[in-house]
Amino acid sequence: MAIEKILKDDASEEKGERARMASFVGAIAITDLVKTTLGPKGMDKILQSTGRGHEVTVTNDGATILKSLHIDNPAAKVLIDISKVQDDEVGDGTTSVVVLAGELLREAEKLVAAKIHPVTIISVYNNVCLFYRLRMASECARNALLQRVVDNKENAGYAFILYYLPNVLGFDKEHFAQLAVDAVMRLKGSTNLEAIQIIKKPGGSLKDSFLDEGFILDKKIGLGQPKRIENAKILVANTAMDTDKVKIYGARVRVDSMSKVAEIEGAEKEKMREKVKKIMAHGINCFVNRQLIYNFPEELFADASILAIEHADFDGIERLALVTGGEIASTFDNPESVKLGHCKLIEEIMIGEDKLIHFSGVEMGQACTVVLRGASHHVLDEAERSLHDALCVLSQTVNDTRVLLGGGWPEMVMAKEVDELARKTPGKKSHAIEAFSRALVAIPTIIADNAGLDSADLVAQLRAEHHKEGCNAGIDVISGSVGDMAELGIAESFKVKQAVLLSAIEAAEMILRVDEIITCAPRKREDRM
């Protein structure tokens, strides 16, 4: 009798070995794809979108690359997902997490081929992971000392920014590191990166990028209004300044003669005039609105020599309210109780060829603006992404100041410990433990490979160094040799590293546990053509 068909026509089913192979292959392919972008000398990828215009992105940010891929393999989707989450949660380590998960799976594949049950591998991975985390935390304690040294030397995060800005910013790293540290220090412990505004203006070179203490709004000042105001009192508003229609449902104007139209128009104008008057009664000399300001009220503001800025975006408004200490107002009946924002100076400035409005001497020092300059849009986009990574890491580190050394140091230390554990463990579990340590060593190997160094030699050297107690050796990519990471001041955030490890193991576990893939028939697109 023929085998009964259970699934629908186009649905497919893969079982056992085949399913496992499909997911391993998918995961490893993704890993190989992003592998070359890891480390300070990682390479970039060009991504061309399929949309109109075939826009091109040049990046080496793992999350960005993976987000833009069209993937059909379910295991690969799991890896993309962890990378996305890593980006949302800590903002950095998006490539490392995928590479680590991929390497764990690559090792697991060998073990499965050697007839070790996946569930055994998972339980070992989990145990080792727990062990690893404990060790990492204790290493952190040891590094508390080191951290203090770093603190004294420079601003807290300066050291590892060097490590985290490997991308196009290569040549101007130090400049950018300073920029990012300054910006995060202004946040005073909050992780709300919204308060840091990044404005990109093509032109000039990356070196011309700067951090502005005040706030820059990418808007023009209305015609005939003052271009410079000192000791400004700012009202930040979100209100209709066009016609301000009657909101009661069903209301409409119905007239029977031209003269009445004129009367009503007059009344409307009168209403607007009143509104403007009310606004002016706040005693302000600058008015920023989220919505449009029509010509008529704008003219009124100009007459009263009040600076009116229209159509600022919502984020801009929120930030402005945050920096100037005012509140966002929508009604204007009680001027005495509305909190106004203050700043010392508002002026129009030029960056490149564009005019921007600059608020300086603001009350709350929390927000700031970073103006990025660069030769092309691609460079700017990439700079923004790198800066974003750096800011994320810094803001996380401000909260959790524990750091680890960089340059493959934590991987090597742990690999050594894990190896020792493997030697003590009887039974087949020791194979899986060894596999874990091999996966860890793969990371410094890839970093070295990407930098064009002799990875086998370097990693062997590292391993030898690490057999001494309390060693700080890691790969110094710049000089191409093994160096003391503590002296070089290369560090990584503990929190990022921990998140990388946990997510990578979770993902590897999920993929390992799979023994069957059932793919439903793809939903038919309706032919609209």
363-402: contacts with another protein (CB under 8 A): 392, 395-396
Count of residues interacting with another protein (CB under 8 A): 88
Strand bridging mode 328-329 / 228-237? parallel
Main-chain phi, psi angles of 201, to 5 degrees = -130, 115
Catalytic residue among 37, 59, 61, 445: 61
In which residue are the tokens 């810094």 written? 394
Task: Kindly state the smallest distance separating residue 499's Cβ from another protein, in Å.
Answer: 8
Q: Does 268 bind another protein (CB under 8 A)?
A: yes
Write out the binding residues for another protein, residues 166-205 only, by CB under 8 A.
191-194
Binding mask 271-300 for another protein (x = CB under 8 A): x-----------------------------
Q: Of 117 and 227, which CB lies nearer to another protein in the complex structure? A: 117
Catalytic residue among 94, 324, 397, 445: 94
- The token duo for 55 is 């826009």
Q: Which of 523, 526, 527, 529 is close enough to bind another protein by CB under 8 A?
A: 523
Write out the binding residues for another protein, residues 308-347 only, by CB under 8 A.
318, 321-322, 327-331, 333-334, 337-338
Q: Which of 54, 252, 468, 528 is close enough to bind another protein by CB under 8 A?
A: 252
In which residue are the tokens 């009220």 written? 297
Binding mask 57-96 for another protein (x = CB under 8 A): ---------------x-xx-xx--xx--x-xxxxx-----
Q: Does 243 bind another protein (CB under 8 A)?
A: no
Count CB atoms within 10 A of the CB of residue 192: 11
Q: Does 249 bind another protein (CB under 8 A)?
A: yes
Distances (CA, A) of 376 to 153, 205, 218, 299: 35, 9, 19, 38
Binding mask 100-129 for another protein (x = CB under 8 A): -----------------xxxx-----x---
Task: Kindly state the smallest distance separating residue 24's Cβ from another protein, in Å.
Answer: 12
DSSP result, 366-407: S-EEEEEEESSHHHHHHHHHHHHHHHHHHHHHHHS--EEE-T
Q: Which of 153, 220, 311, 513 is close enough to bind another protein by CB under 8 A?
A: 513
Task: Kindly state the smallest distance separating residue 247's Cβ from another protein, in Å.
Answer: 5
Q: Which of 114, 137, 267, 456 is close enough to bind another protein by CB under 8 A?
A: 267
Cα–Cα distance for residue pair 412/442, rounded to 1 Å:
10
Q: Of 103 and 476, which CB lies nearer to another protein in the complex structure? A: 103
Does the annotation mark 32 as catalytic? no
Q: Of 180 and 488, which CB lies nearer to another protein in the complex structure? A: 180
Give Cβ neighbours of residue 465 (< 8 Å, ≥ 6 apart): 471, 473, 482
Q: Buried b vs exposed e over 2-38: b needs ≥16 C-beta within 10 Å?
A: eeeeeeeeeeeebeeeebbebbbebbbebbebbbbbb
Q: Which of 3, 145, 223, 258 is close enough to bind another protein by CB under 8 A?
A: 3
Cα–Cα distance for residue pair 188/186, rounded to 1 Å:
5
In the DSSP assignment, the letter for residue 206 is: G
User: Binding segment for another protein among 3-11, 140-148, 211-219, 474-482 (CB under 8 A)?
Assistant: 3-11
Write out the binding residues for another protein, residues 456-485 only, by CB under 8 A.
none
Does the annotation mark 95 as catalytic? yes
Task: Kindly state the smallest distance separating residue 450's Cβ from another protein, in Å.
Answer: 25
Q: Nearest Cα to 142, choosing from 328, 449, 403?
A: 403
Q: How far apart are the first and last CA of the chain?
A: 44
Q: Which of 251, 258, 350, 529 is close enough to bind another protein by CB under 8 A?
A: 251
Give Cβ neighbours of residue 163 (< 8 Å, ≥ 6 apart): 40, 406, 407, 490, 491, 492
According to DSSP, the residues that pair with 236 across neighbouring strands are 288, 328
Q: Which of 255, 281, 349, 478 is close enough to bind another protein by CB under 8 A?
A: 255
Residue 401 and residue 147 in contact, taking contact as beta carbons nearer than 8 Å: yes
Catalytic residue among 87, 212, 381, 389: 389
Q: Of 336 and 469, which CB lies nearer to another protein in the complex structure? A: 336
The catalytic residues are 61, 94-95, 389
